[in-house]
Amino acid sequence: MGRFTGLMIAVTVCTLFPWTGKAQFTIRRETSANPVELPRPKDERFTNPNLGNLAYTTEAIQRAERRRIRRERNAWELNLGLKATQTYFSNWAKGGDNTFNGLATAFISHAYKRNKLSITTKFDARYGISVIDTIVFKNEDKFNLNAIFEWEINDKWSYSGAINFRSQFSRGYKSKTNNTLVSAFMSPGVLDIALGFTYGPEKSPFKITLSPVTGSILFVLNDELSEKKINGIDPGKHVKPMIGPSVNIDFDKTFAKDRLRYKSNFYSFYNFTLAPTARWENTFSIRATKFLDTSIYWLMIYDKEAETPHKRNKIQLTYSIGVGLNFGYKSK
């Protein structure tokens, strides 16, 4: 009787509280004591070909390696400047005009190098205004966008192709009292496309580009200026294509632990049907503190077709000296 009672209690418990049982079986083929690891494909993103093949390479290590490669192949430079001068007179016996002069500058450069290929892009701009007794007029205005592509031949020479685009931002007038229009955006504007050779050892401040074949396009998009035969373009025309050789010489060097810097660019283009043109631009800067510098800027242009105030003298010259704020950044 006791055994029967115990059996009934066990059946009742199993009915009220059912249990689930599970079993797992694994079928494994026996292998040799030294397993062979399948080869991994090479990862082309890394300069070290073995890095992408490491069995225990993590995604974080790969990201760090890619960042290092980007820093190695790319170099950035940024310079922003703002300079201002003011002169004020009140009840001044000798007379004088109240004046304010402001100048904003920007220089952006990016250099990319991978194996034999290098690409350098530069943007340089200047914009200045003068205010004389409430009369506002522009006294300086230009921008230049330049890109050069190089394929290394040896440690000094390379094949090169260059694209240069230059113009001004806004309308310009003859003087503060003469509202005769003399320039506007893309009036004139110049686009140069050149093919040739570049001489420039890696650590040399000089870079000389000789281009036997250069295509140059002159733009005068403003209707009023195109009717005046500005820069030798036919009246009523907006575009003038030209072809010929060109030369470009760059110099950029720092001195005294980067406190002094001299930049120079000479560019000349010879059209087979017109007289050659030349531009020589120079900037000498002295960095006093991290955000304060003094700069001397000098630009000379020779263009026989330009409408200059002195008809026989075709050499245009401008220079400026200023002290002001400057922000600079270099990735290398």
Is the pLDDT assigned to residue 126 strictly greater than 90?
Answer: yes
Residue ranges of the alpha helices (H) in the chain? Answer: 2-16, 59-73, 223-226
Please write the tens of the pLDDT for every residue from 278-323: 999 999 999 988 899 999 999 999 988 777 777 777 899 998 898 9
Is the predicted pLDDT of residue 2 greater than 80, yes or no?
A: no
Q: Is the pLDDT at 251 greater than 60, yes or no?
A: yes
Q: Which of 318, 266, 307 is nearest to 103 (CA)?
A: 318
- The Cα 89–Cα 269 span in angstroms is 47
The residues near 101 (Cβ < 8 Å, ≥ 6 apart) are 84, 85, 86, 128, 129, 130, 131, 139
Q: Could you tell me which residues are beta bridge partners of residue 330?
A: 77
The model's confidence at residue 10, banded by pLDDT at 50, 70 and 90, is: low
Residue pair 73/331 in contact by the 8 Å Cβ criterion: no
Tokens of 35: 């397993």
CATH topology for 80-330? Answer: Porin (2.40.160)
Lowest mean pLDDT among 108-112, 117-121, 219-223, 260-264: 219-223
For the chain, what is the mean pLDDT?
A: 84
In this prediction, residue 30 carries a pLDDT of 52
User: What pLDDT is recorded for position 15?
Assistant: 52
Q: What is the Cα 216 distance to its own chain's centre?
A: 21
Report the percentage of the chain scoring pLDDT > 90: 52
Look up residue 304 and give its DSSP letter. T
The strand pair at 189-199 and 181-183 is best described as unpaired
Tens digits of residue pLDDT in 145-186: 999 999 999 999 999 999 999 999 999 988 888 888 989 999
Domain residue ranges in the chain: 80-330
Does the CA dihedral 201-202-207-210 come out positive or negative? positive
Q: What is the pLDDT of residue 86?
A: 85
Nearest to 285 by CA among 295, 277, 276, 275: 295
